Structure 1
Amino acid sequence: MKIALVQDGLMCRAGGEQVALCFHKAFPDAPIYTQCYQPDLTFPEFKDCDIRTSWMQKIAKTDDTMKSLFFPLGVWAMQSHDLTDFDVVLMSGTHCAKYVKVKKDALVVSYSFTPFRLAWDPTSYAQYTEAGAVKKLLFNKVLTYLRNVDFRFGQRPDYYIAMTEETKQRLREAYQVKNRIDIINPPVNTQNFYISKKPKEYFLVVSRLEYYKKVDLVVEAFNRLGYPLVVVGKGVQAEEIKAMANNNITFLSGLSAQELADVYAGCRAFIFPQHEDYGITPLEANAAGRPVIAYGAGGVQATQIPVTDDPENATALFFQSQTVDDLIDAIKQFEIMENRFKPSFIRKHAESFDELKFINKIRSFVTDKYVQKRKSETTVIE
């Protein structure tokens, strides 16, 4: 079984890159094809991998630049990858991994986080919703083309794997998938985190600073509360968010794995205000034994155990509206029950999502499907 791995890009440290790294651990001899790769911007473990970039590597030196050049350069760049020598192609991502060239009888498996967000859900981008009439008209023309192209290439995978039930339904609706879509939850490397016996006084956000992440909502809430808040991350909204923050809010970025583990272990609770397709960071907080205060929609419904009556058997407290008032109310409610959360229970819950289990599931899925395909081909020949 000659297998190739494909990832949209390796330009930051986020959930998609963690999945790609697990694919490498499942199939360590397989090369990784991607749009661009910058070793200093993503996980250091990729330095030991056989990574094959597109010609766009010479142009895009940051994640933001790579994304801004996606149309049309990113599409062309990924189409330049020729994987027709491979029997199996295992891809992960949302937008451009599916554009690589594969042979007709290859087994193609797509671990898709969600349908390409810009094409299928443009209202999640402030650049679209805040555009004027003329600019939005141009946007819509481009998006119609992108949606058609994305749908056409979305027909190539033989099998889709989804993160959650919600993203499974999105994939089925967007690409009209007829085959069964299995769900394999993305992993967390619990070995990277630990429980502290003496957490500190701050709350924590770990996130890219982009509009749909709603970090500005958290900053506004903590401006009003005056409580210590640590924000770890960078992104297009960084300067805007920093400018609105009071002195009780600290911003960090570029942390090592150990520094990040220390920040998680020291927080009172982790704040997660966005509607995320999945969200690895709440599970990372859980791996440090820390509870999560989250907007109760999207991926957290699959990864967290919300408080009902007993915080001792819960990992999170949900709030129901993405408003400053609702978040503040949730924080106040958390303070009442804070000492009743059990770090050992929260940590054990995170271990059920450990990356070793994910690696084994992915390896078994791909291997089983390949064996089935070979058997069916042999039967046809006979």
Structure 2
Amino acid sequence: MKIAIVQDGLMCRAGGEQVALCFHKAFPLAPIYTQCYQPNLTFSEFADCDIRPSWLQKFARTDNQMKALFFPLGIWAMQSQDLREYDVVLMSSTHCAKYVKVRDDALVINYCHTPFRLAWDPQSYAQYNDSSGLKRKLFNFVVKILRQVDFEYAQRPDYFLANTEETAERARVNYGAVHPVVIYPPVNSKNFYVGPRKEYFLVVSRLEYYKRIDLVVEAFNQLGYQLIVVGKGVQADEIKATAKANITFLSGLSADELADIYANCRAFIFPQHEDYGITPLEANAAGRPVIAYRAGGVLSTQIPVTDNPAKATALFFDNQNVNDLISAVRKFEVIEDSFDPIFIRNHAEAYDEDIFINKIRSFVNEKFAQHVER
């Protein structure tokens, strides 16, 4: 079985990159094809992998540049990646990993993090919502083309895997995927530890519109509590400009520094509707509870507070607004000492990457054996 791995891009440290790294651990001899790769921007473990970026690598040195060049250069770059020598192509994809060339008789497995957000949910981007007139017409034209391309290439995989039941349903609706199989993404529990609690709350996220970090900043501006925000993104300058002195912004942390930040926070704040969301589980791996918007992946991965906080991992709020988040933080203060860090840590270990790697390896091997028989 000659196998290749494909990842949209290796330009940041996020969930898709973590999944691709686990694919490598499951199949360590498989090369990883990708749009662009910058070692200093993503997980250091990729330095030991056989990474094969597209020609777009010559022009995109940052994640934002790669995104800006996506239409049409990024599409063409991934379409030029020729993987027809491989029997199995295993994709970690939100968008362009699906666009590579594959043999007609190859086994193609697409692990879907979510259908391409710009094509299928453009309203989740501030740039789209802020556009009007001719700019909005141009945006709609681009979205129409992206949707056509994305749908076309989504018909090639033989199997769809999905990170949550919600993503599986989106793949069925948007792509016509038949019976997507849900395998929850991993958290690398051994990278985190339970430590002493300090006086700050924590956000770890890309600073993008749909992540709603602006909501957290406004809430903590009013609360006056210490907040640390770890991450960067296109909305960074805008968000930082509104933050008061009680809010600290960090980025480019090492794995050890990030583990320390998680271990010492009071709670992790998760305001977005995320398809899955690995960061809440990372907080859990550090024994810390999560204050989360009641939507998306956290409904599958977190145990909400009911009568006994000692048997819970998260406190949910129902409306994605400042007032509800403030109310949730104040409710959390009342029950904060009742959460059990060891229980929370043990919960995260059920999603450990070793479990994920074994499930992926078993799925690929089983489907390839069936594929050969046919």
1:31-180 residue pairs with structure 2 within 5 A? 31-178=31-178, 180=179
Secondary structure at the residue paired with 2:260?
helix
The residue number in structure 2 matching 1:189 is 188
The structural deviation recorded for 1:332 is: 0.4
Of 301, 311, 314, the residue aligned with 1:313 is: 311
Secondary structure of the residue aligned to 1:346 is: helix
Q: Name the CA distance, whole Å, in 1 between partners of 2:311 and 2:328.
A: 18
What displacement does 1:77 show?
Answer: 0.2
Q: CA deviation at 1:129?
A: 1.2
> Which residue of 2 is the match for residue 379 of structure 1?
none
Counterparts of 1:166 and 1:133 in 2: how far apart (Å)? 34
Give, in whole Å, the separation in 2 of the partners of 1:22 and 1:145. 32
> In percent, how many aligned pairs have the same letter?
71
1:75-134 Cα distance to aligned partner (Å, 9 max, x none): 100011110100000001111001100000000000011111100111111111110122
- In structure 2, distance between residues paired with 1:117 and 1:240: 22
AA aligned to 1:314 is A
**What do the CA deviations read for 1:137-196 (whole angstroms, capped 9, x no partner)?**
111112111111111111000000001111000001111123x21100000000000001
Stretches of structure 1 that go unaligned for 5 or more consecutive residues are: 377-382
Distance in 1 of aligned mates of 2:28 and 2:241:
44
Give the aligned partner of residue 266 of structure 2.
268
1:295 pairs, out of 293, 296, 299, with: 293
Check if 1:332 corresponds to 2:340.
no
Q: How does 1:199-210 map to 2 (within 5 A)?
A: 199-210=197-208
Query: Given residue 194 of structure 2, which amino acid in structure 1 is its aligned partner?
Result: I
Q: State which drifts further: 128-137 or 48-57.
A: 128-137
Give ranges in structure 2 of 5+ residues lacking alignment: none
The aligned residue for residue 26 of structure 2 is 26
Counterpart Cα distance in 2 of 1:242 and 1:148: 37
One-letter amino acid matched to 1:81: Q
Amino acid at match of 2:341: P
The answer to whether 1:360 aligns with 2:358 is yes
Letter in 1 for 2:221: N
| Residues in 1 aligned to 2:302 and 2:39: alpha-carbon distance in whole angstroms | 32
d(CA) in 2 for partners of 1:213 and 1:257? 22
The DSSP-based 3-state class of the residue aligned with 2:273 is coil
| Structure 1 Cα separation of the partners of residues 204 and 89 of structure 2 | 32
SS in 1 for 2:335: helix
1:380 maps to which residue?
none
SS at 1:293's partner residue?
strand
Aligned length: 374
**Counterpart of 2:17?**
17
For 2:147 and 2:209, the matched residues in 1 are separated by: 22
> Within 1, Cα distance between the matches of 2:217 and 2:148?
39
Q: What secondary structure is seen at the aligned counterpart in 1 of 2:361?
A: helix
Give 2:330's aligned amino acid.
K
* Aligned residue identity for 2:293: Y
2:49 and 2:149 map into 1 onto residues whose CA distance is 30
The offset of 1:335, in angstroms, is 0.5
> 1:64 and 1:75 mapped to 2: Cα distance?
15
Report whether the alignment pairs 1:254 with 2:278: no
* Equivalent position of 1:349 in the other structure: 347
Displacement after TM superposition at 1:375 (Å): 1.1
Q: Which amino acid aligns with 2:18?
A: Q
Pick aligned residue for 1:238 from 225, 236, 239: 236
